[in-house]
Structure 1
Amino acid sequence: MSLPKAATLFLLFFLLLLSSTTTSNAHNITRLLAKYPQFSTFNHYLTTTHLASQINRRQTITVLALDNTAMSSLLAKQYSLYTLKNILSLHVLVDYFGSKKLHRISKRSTLTSTMFQATGAAPGTSGYVNITNLKGGKVGFGAEDNEGKLDATFVKSIKEIPYNISIVQISH
């Protein structure tokens, strides 16, 4: 009788342990962005291009989100879905950059890898983003292969789960 009781206790313990653990990638980018209707178009295209599932598989990630106005400007250029995916994958940094870290970049600038670089599809340095801490508390972003031009700036932090996921709004 002690064997079935021991087996039952073991099974109960195992189920309790299993139910109390969380996965390392407990964030869901589409759920996080769904709370912010001003990012609904960006959120839609993360799903359509399958970038959302790639983001969700990452343990440490930063998403440089575009609001609906910025997405409208991007969509007006009528890029193919493939090209749009590549563009949006440049907005996904494979490192954690919360608001504090962005505003405290040492040596004024840093170079970081994006999801585009991680796919292996990016030629040369086109999959890297230069982040520069500008004067007056501003932070600029630009593709590394863009001759140092900073095309976008930090607008605000949307959601931060320290060292796992950071979602920040950029200008475009």
Structure 2
Amino acid sequence: MPGEKTAVQWLASVAPDPEACRREWERDPLGVALLPAGRAWDVLILPGRLGRPTLDVLCRVLDQPGPVLVDVGDARTGFFVPPGTAARWLGTGIRTAGAGTWIVVPYPGRPTRGGVRWLVPPDGSGTLTDPALLELAMHEAAAADRVRPDESGR
């Protein structure tokens, strides 16, 4: 992956000991690390039914959204947003990871053996998704979901 080393450095920079984090991360058979949110980024975690459609909307309006994670079975999708966003977020049904929380982060550019994987890996530049734009994309995705015919064809 282009920029893999830079992406690893950017992600590991939030760890209490970035070098120890990188060494452990590279050796971990699952290819994941536990990193603190709230320093370089927060994460807004959307339910799976809303996560992918929201990413689709973002990809139509942005050249490159910030990093996006998805968990096992695509049950939850995590969008990396600027630090402090989690403390101000008021959206119902959206989980947040900000200061004082930790998240499982896969090594960028490598397949993981755990359940968390990148939908949009970090490029190492620090690009994050604008929370206002993310909220608009969520509304558009939710509205599109409401107007789709249900299973009975109505």
Please state which band the TM-score falls in when normalised by the shorter chain.
under 0.3
Query: Which of the two has greater helix per residue?
Result: 1
TM-score (norm 2): 0.27
Q: Which has the larger radius of gyration?
A: 1
TM-score (norm 1): 0.25
Q: Which one has more relative contact order, counting CA pairs under 8 Å at least 6 apart?
A: 2
